[in-house]
């Protein structure tokens, strides 16, 4: 059982020009049965409440920011492969030649998104699908995916105590 902290806090994703998001903190109700529960974060996104304003949502802005960041740096993909493939969640080591076939990222779809604590710091954890344009102008899904989650560093106004 959790109590919801009624305050809404803000945070940013520095990698993507300090893209802003809002979150709340869930504080566990401690009773004699479950003492080990920890506080958690809940993302607050505008598309949860206003479906017609998807372009204003954090999810949409993050999808577009990832796409723009990779496409603006597409020429660096073959030389900084680890860094950019981690951003996309792409396991390039399974099929190394695929890196050379990426013309540009066509679309990003966030399947799940949450704030978790990793090494005592809050981070943004994502699962995404990536569609890319091949050199022969076919659009296909970027596979295989990494077996680890995609993690982006974030800065938050208030951390869990």
* CB 39 within 8 Å of CB 28: yes
Rounded mean pLDDT, 55-74: 94
Kindly state the percentage of the chain with pLDDT values over 70. Answer: 85
Per the prediction, the chain carries an average pLDDT of 87
- The confidence band for 56, taking pLDDT boundaries of 50, 70 and 90, is confident
* CB 123 within 8 Å of CB 90: no
In degrees, rounded to 5, the angle at the alpha carbon of residue 111 between the alpha carbons of residues 108 and 112 is: 125
Distance CA 79, CA 70 (A): 13
CA distances (Å), 4 to each of 1, 24, 43, 66, 107, in order?
Answer: 10, 7, 12, 30, 34
**Would the CA dihedral through 83, 107, 20, 123 be positive or negative?**
negative
At residue 27, the pLDDT reads 75
Rounded mean pLDDT, 55-72: 94
At residue 1, the pLDDT reads 47
Gyration radius of the chain over CA positions: 18
pLDDT(31) > 80: no
Rounded mean pLDDT, 42-62: 78
Rounded mean pLDDT, 47-75: 85
pLDDT(54) > 50: yes
Of 9-13, 71-75, 118-122, 132-136, the one with minimum mean pLDDT is: 118-122
At residue 52, the pLDDT reads 65
pLDDT digits (tens, 9 = 90+) for 107-136: 999 999 999 999 889 999 999 999 999 999
């Amino acid at each position: 059982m959790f109590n919801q902290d009624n305050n809404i806090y803000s945070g940013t994703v520095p990698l993507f020009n300090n893209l802003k998001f809002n979150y709340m903190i869930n504080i566990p109700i401690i009773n004699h049965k479950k003492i080990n529960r920890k506080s958690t974060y809940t993302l607050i996104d505008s598309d949860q409440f206003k479906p017609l304003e998807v372009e204003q949502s954090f999810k949409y802005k993050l999808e577009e920011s990832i796409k723009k960041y990779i496409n603006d740096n597409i020429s660096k993909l073959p030389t900084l492969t680890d860094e950019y493939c981690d951003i996309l969640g792409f396991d390039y080591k399974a099929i190394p030649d695929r890196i050379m076939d990426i013309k540009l990222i066509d679309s990003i779809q966030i399947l799940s998104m949450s704030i978790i604590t990793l090494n005592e710091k809050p981070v943004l954890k994502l699962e995404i699908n990536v569609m890319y344009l091949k050199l022969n102008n076919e659009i296909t899904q970027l596979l295989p995916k990494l077996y680890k989650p995609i993690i982006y560093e974030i800065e938050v106004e208030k951390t869990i105590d």
